[in-house]
Amino acid sequence: MQKREFFMREAIRLASENIISAKGGPFGCVVVRNGEIIARAANSVTSSNDPTAHAEVNAIRLACKFLNAFQLSDCEIYTSCEPCPMCLGALYWARPKAIYFGASKTDAADSGFDDSFIYNQLELSSAERSIPQIQLLNEEATVPFKEWKTLLNKIEY
């Protein structure tokens, strides 16, 4: 249990350090494999002008590059705050063994990082969402999926 607290404190340290460096929001994340930190990252949304540069996404990218793999199935994630919807989706795609978080999404919302709008949008049908989602060329767009199904040398994920 002490190790987990050590890793969480490192994620929290990254979040605090990120405020001082003014590179992004107060979020930090570490990826741990076999009791060792293999990647650490902080939020860099504002410094990189990249809305996807959240701490978890940045850490996933670094860890996958380090491991030369597209999944983190034997890793644990320690993030200073409960993941937002985008990060949670990315973490599920990365398939870690466990996700540990410090602050809650309510704590984040109280500081101006409120994701409830996105959570609410996900509950709506595509037609009801605030950003229009309009399907085009469905028949043509399904061709690559049909090709994928028959591909013999594909890498499953």
Give CA–CA dist 32/75, Å, rounded: 5
Contact 90, 22 (CB under 8 A): no
> Can you spell out the DSSP letters for 3-44?
HHHHHHHHHHHHHHHHHHHTSSSS-EEEEEETTEEEEEEE--
- Catalytic annotation, pick one of 5, 17, 36, 56: 56
Catalytic: 56? yes
Contact 16, 102 (CB under 8 A): no
Element housing 78 (H / E): strand 75-81
Active-site amino acid positions: 56
